[in-house]
Amino acid sequence: MALIVHKYGGTSMGSTERIRNVAKRVAKWHAAGHQVVVVPSAMSGETNRLLGLALEITATPDGRELDVIAATGEQASSGLLALALQAEGINARSYAGWQVPVQTDSAHTKARITAIDDKRILAELDAGRVVIVTGFQGVDPGGNITTLGRGGSDTSAVAIAAAIKADECLIYTDVDGVYTTDPRVVPTARRMNVISFEEMLEMASLGSKVLQIRSVEFAGKYRVPLRVLSSLTPPDMPLEQEMRSGTLITFEEDAQMEAAVVSGIAFTRDEAKIMLLGVPDKPGVAYAILGKVADANIDIDMIVQNQSVDGTTDFSFTVHRNDFQKVVQIMQTDIVPAVGARQMIPDENVAKVSIVGIGMRSHAGIASLMFKTLADENINIQMISTSEIKTSVLIQDKYLELAVRALHKAFDLETKPEAE
Amino acid sequence: MALIVHKYGGTSMGSTERIRNVAKRVAKWHAAGHQVVVVPSAMSGETNRLLGLALEITATPDGRELDVIAATGEQASSGLLALALQAEGINARSYAGWQVPVQTDSAHTKARITAIDDKRILAELDAGRVVIVTGFQGVDPGGNITTLGRGGSDTSAVAIAAAIKADECLIYTDVDGVYTTDPRVVPTARRMNVISFEEMLEMASLGSKVLQIRSVEFAGKYRVPLRVLSSLTPPDMPLEQEMRSGTLITFEEDAQMEAAVVSGIAFTRDEAKIMLLGVPDKPGVAYAILGKVADANIDIDMIVQNQSVDGTTDFSFTVHRNDFQKVVQIMQTDIVPAVGARQMIPDENVAKVSIVGIGMRSHAGIASLMFKTLADENINIQMISTSEIKTSVLIQDKYLELAVRALHKAFDLETKPEAE
């Protein structure tokens, strides 16, 4: 008997028929003798409907009241799932975040979980019940309803799994696992059976949309084994078969993992680049340029400063595309005149491609193969950044698909079976 | 400065535009220096939508989970109203039942309020805020979400008004007050400026749909002055004018009230009659017939037992039309054979008409005028029941409108101005 947390996304909860399917799947786990906690999202479209009503009333809604409104979506879907489980003959009860309670800080619409009381959940499990806990929400020290922000149900599920020391946290979603890259770009992309936590973190942060990055960080912090699998398989699929589907995100870096030097190709179009040409090269110039950007709570991703020529240098950095206009404005009004740059060149037509793999730690020459592959395709590399287990390059966005396909092939991700 | 509770029904909260109108009206009261607590219903249609989802999943939904689901309607509308008030420049906060808390018993879907903590509400009012409290819901001793049943938002508003010792509880609805009878039946029906609490109780229980009867009982118990008024008047109507509109439900039975002997004509089509003919007239026969009905939690309204002839009697009673089929079945299977009745005659084609007035206590001959009026119209009276301040008759339902019009005229309700 294992203690398992299931998380179901909005698409999986998208209709009463689908909710009944979720109940059938949970019932199968329960019948096999497992203790199950289920964390459902709101029915798909519901959160957008609620936020739409709020925006009809005011363009600048207060966070506290937005959370009051948005939290109702998960509460309703949790109650509906409890009814569906009861219809399957399962003793089930739903709990809102405040009833557990799931304690958070007071940062409305993007709160962080600070503590989860396991007593009520464990008592209900011991009473033979399936326990449903609303995802996405909690309660702050003042007793106010909070939400974790978009995609927060993943984080809720992982945090609950950590709190009750679950054996595994299963994230059921509309894809069947983590792929070597996006199958829409590379049709021969292969589902990984296993990926290391650190690789998953890089894949998630670099644009692989399967899991919310905060949930992966949480899983890493508390060493919760995560499995991503499809909610679209038949709910009565044999349990052993279901467990072999999907992708396990593991903390065990054993022999099997080392076989794959590069595990996947991640990419994102959410980048934008700003180049400042002819910046007088004085000490403190990086801070002079980027300090105000950081003050505006804008994350900077890649940074490159060229070799100084004649006392001036070219300085480039990237930000999330959502922040692009704001950063361009900060540069124009505050920075370019202040640091005396000759010219600013903003560029939205860029994309970032990354190779990710824990094997890169111990294998040399990986980045070279990446650069060679791109050169062979005549793709110019604008910026490079590296970490222990990934190498990222910024390229012109029209070459993105070509680059991903070429790298996927060059690192033999299409055919290489994982060592298992 | 007064302490006022406003309650808005589902129609008044039916769209974001209407919610903005509610906010404008509340803002007017706040601007005039009053402390305001607002109790909104769910947006019209929302509760039915949520219950419809539950019934799609199971025909016999569990009460606890139904409450979890249904309670989200008021939570969302409360948050939306808070946003609308903030957009009017008012400092406002919404609270769900459990946050106040509004304590109830554990009778899910029809819970009763047991206590309301006034501390948080009063502290927020003292901080200059408008406080929004979800209607219809509370929390039981086990920390489970409960709802008060349909129309329960009226009861929530009155209970909150009682708890915080409000000066008045204003029920804003889609009619502009309590009428001498239903204006759809008698176009000359007149809005009453004042009605006594006891008369309102009879009017409400007899089918006048303006206020939920439990809210009137609650108002009576805690002597909360209630006012029914329209949410469809312009929100910027001058405050004095708004206060003169609607109907005040008062506890002061002073001279002005005595002038009206009969205040209104109430009626309902929700009745159904069962006649048992030729029942052997033995002691305990009434209990033998009605005991099983009461055991099935079915309320019996009117009861008539005829004079015994040849040792047998005819026994008639009425129930709510919703319970009719169930009662007929109980009679057929259990009662008719057991008591040895000769025949059962079920009849759904009946209606009840009542005259109501606190003046009836001290004036004789009121019932006679009622009977004479109906006789003049050739309307046969099937059953009669009386209380201190009302007389009800059961008639064939096709005569209902005729009876109401004739009585409204006979008691001069069309023209008589109230003494004020």
pLDDT of residue B417: 54
- Distance separating alpha carbons of residues A361 and A261, to the nearest angstrom: 9
The answer to whether the complex's ipTM is over 0.85 is: no
- Within an 8 Å CB–CB cutoff, is residue A62 touching chain B? yes
pLDDT band at A284 (very low <50, low <70, confident <90, very high): confident
How many Cβ atoms sit within 10 Å of the Cβ of residue B414?
Answer: 15
Token pair 């939904």 is found at B61
pLDDT of residue B207: 64
- Within an 8 Å CB–CB cutoff, is residue A51 touching chain B? no
Q: What six digits make up the tokens of B21?
A: 């109108």
Contact call for residues B382 and B285 (beta carbons, < 8 A):
no
- Within an 8 Å CB–CB cutoff, is residue A164 touching chain B? no
- Distance separating alpha carbons of residues A232 and A173, to the nearest angstrom: 8
Asked if the B3-254 domain carries CATH number 2.40.220.10, the reply is no
CATH superfamily to which B260-414 belongs: VC0802-like (3.30.2130.10)
Name the DSSP class of B260: -
Per-residue pLDDT tens digits for A211-241? 878 888 888 888 999 999 999 899 999 999 9
pLDDT band at A40 (very low <50, low <70, confident <90, very high): very high
The region, left, alpha or beta by phi > 0 then psi within -120 to 50, assigned to residue B7 is beta
- CATH 3.30.2130.10 placement within chain A: 256-420
pLDDT band at A351 (very low <50, low <70, confident <90, very high): very high
Q: What six digits make up the tokens of A308?
A: 């100084």
- Distance separating alpha carbons of residues B230 and B132, to the nearest angstrom: 19
Could you give the C-alpha distances from A135 to A77, A141, B137, B399, in angstroms and in order? Answer: 10, 18, 22, 57
Token pair 């079920």 is found at B346
Instruction: Tell me: cis bond preceding B101? Omega within 30 of 0 counts.
Output: yes
- Distance separating alpha carbons of residues A383 and A385, to the nearest angstrom: 7
pLDDT of residue A258: 45
Chain B positions touching A19 (Cβ under 8 A) are 57
- Distance separating alpha carbons of residues B172 and B228, to the nearest angstrom: 6
Rounded to the nearest 10 degrees, what angle do helices A16-31 and A63-87 cross at?
60
- CATH 3.30.2130.10 placement within chain B: 260-414
Q: For testing the chain A interface, which of B69, B109, B136 should be mutated: the one with the most A CBs within 10 Å? A: B69
Chain A positions touching B65 (Cβ under 8 A) are 79-80, 82-83, 86, 93-94
pTM for this predicted structure:
0.83
Q: Give the architecture (CATH level 2) of A3-252.
A: 3-Layer(aba) Sandwich (3.40)
Q: Which residues contact A31 (CB under 8 A, 6 or more apart)?
A: none
| Record: contact B57-A19, CB cut-off 8 A | yes
Residues 383-412 of B with CB under 8 A from A: none
pLDDT of residue B258: 45
pLDDT of residue A60: 93
Q: What six digits make up the tokens of A3?
A: 């203690």
- Nearest beta carbon to residue A86 from set B58, B83, B84: B58
Q: What six digits make up the tokens of B90?
A: 């008012």
- CATH 3.40.1160.10 placement within chain B: 3-254
Q: What six digits make up the tokens of A11?
A: 């698409």
Per-residue pLDDT tens digits for A370-394? 999 999 999 999 999 888 889 999 9
Q: Return mean pLDDT, chain A.
A: 91
What is the pairing mode between strands B390-396 and B383-387?
Answer: antiparallel
- Nearest chain B residue to A84, by CA: B57
- Distance separating alpha carbons of residues A123 and B105, to the nearest angstrom: 23
pLDDT of residue B306: 79
Contact call for residues A294 and A264 (beta carbons, < 8 A):
no
- Nearest beta carbon to residue B76 from set A58, A69, A86: A69
Q: Which residues of chain B have pLDDT under 50?
A: 255, 258, 419-420
Q: What six digits make up the tokens of A389?
A: 């287990």
- Distance separating alpha carbons of residues B177 and B192, to the nearest angstrom: 7
Q: Which of B92, B96, B72, B73 is nearest to B82 (CA)?
A: B92
Contact call for residues A351 and A302 (beta carbons, < 8 A):
no
Q: Which CATH number fits domain A256-420: 3.30.2130.10, 3.40.50.300, 3.40.1110.10, 1.20.1250.20?
A: 3.30.2130.10
- Better pLDDT: A126 or B365: A126
3-state class (DSSP) for residue A283:
coil
pLDDT of residue A12: 94
Instruction: Tell me: cis bond preceding A235? Omega within 30 of 0 counts.
Output: no
Residues 71-130 of A with CB under 8 A from B: 71-73, 75-76, 78-80, 82-84, 86-87, 93-94, 96, 98-99
Does pLDDT of A260 surpass 80?
no
- Nearest chain B residue to A54, by CA: B80
